[in-house]
Amino acid sequence: MPEILKAHIQKLIEIDEEELSSVLSYFHPLEVKKKQNLLTEDQTCQFNYFVANGCLRMFFINRKDQEQTVQFAIENWWLSDYTSFSTQKPAGFYIQAVEASSLLTISLLKQEELLKQHPVMERYFRLIHQRVHAASQFRIKMRYDLSREDLYHDFIKRHPGFVQRIPQYLLASYLGFSAEYLSEIRSKKRS
C-alpha cells in the first residue's frame, strides 16, 4: 500500500528515495469495510485519509433528514473534513466507505511533524489542495451552468468508470437530486 502513495508523491514532487522512505513512515495503513463510518458529525476528525484502494464519500444530513454527498475519493485521492482536522473541533460531515477500502492515514500531529521534518511535502500537500479547490470550483460552476440532466450526462462522460462503482442513489445525492429523478434521466437515455 505505501507503494501507491510513494508513486503519487513522486508524480507531483521531486524527492529522493531516502527522504521518501522517511516520509512514508509517518503513515499508517487502515482497512475499512463497506459502509463503515470513519467520521460522524460532531466527532473530531483525527485523520487525513489517502485512498490506496476503494472509495470513500463525505456527506452531511440536511434539514430534511436526507444524506447529501459532497465529495467522493477513489484511488490516489485524499479525503478529510479539513476544517475539523485542522482545528480539531467537531466535524460538520460524515466520512464513510462506499466500498471495502485500503487507506493510509496520518494524524494532525504526525502531519505537522512530517511537514517540519520534510518541507518538500508542503509543496505536495499544496498541490493536492489546489487540485481539490479547482475541482470544487468547477463543480459549483457546472451546478449553475447546466441543467440537472446535462449535469448528469457531463459527469458520466468525464467519469465513466467511477459511475459504475457507486450506487445510483449516492450519485444522485452528489449531483443534488433524488434517486427517482436520476432513474427518469437514465430511462430517457434508453428510450
In tens, the pLDDT along 66-76 reads 899 999 999 99
- Asked if 101 contacts 53 with a C-beta cutoff of 8 angstroms, the reply is yes
What pLDDT score was predicted for residue 22? 97
Q: For the chain, how many structural domains are there in total?
A: 1
According to the model, what pLDDT value does residue 190 have?
Answer: 53
Q: Which three cell numbers stand for residue 136?
A: 470544487
Predicted TM-score (pTM) above 0.85:
yes
Q: So what's the pLDDT on residue 187? A: 80
Which residues span the domain enclosing 74? 2-117
Q: What is the predicted pLDDT for the residue at 188?
A: 78
Q: What does the pLDDT read at residue 106? A: 98
Structural domain contains residue 127 = no
Helix (H, G, I), strand (E, B) or coil at 178: coil
Low-confidence ranges of the chain (pLDDT < 50): 191
49 lies in a domain? Answer: yes
In angstroms, the CA 119 to CA 27 distance is 16
Assigned domain for 59 exists: yes
Give me the pLDDT at residue 189, please.
59
CATH number of 55's domain: 2.60.120.10
pLDDT attached to residue 161:
79
Dihedral pair phi/psi, residue 95, rounded to 5°: -125, 130
At residue 163, the pLDDT reads: 80
Q: Which residues of 40-52 are buried (b: 16+ CB within 10 A; e: fewer)?
A: eeebebbbbbbbb
| Residue 32 within any structural domain of the chain | yes
pLDDT digits (tens, 9 = 90+) for 112-132: 999 999 999 999 999 999 999
> What is the pLDDT, as a whole number, of residue 92?
94
At residue 1, the pLDDT reads: 77
* Inside any domain, residue 108: yes
- From 149, 169, 31, 160, select the one nearest 100 (Cα to Cα): 31
**47 part of a folded domain:** yes
Assess if residue 42 is contained within a domain: yes
Say if 137 falls within a structural domain.
Answer: no
172, 179 in Cβ contact below 8 A?
yes
Angle between helices 2-12 and 17-24 (to 10 degrees): 130
**Given this model, what pLDDT does residue 162 score?**
80
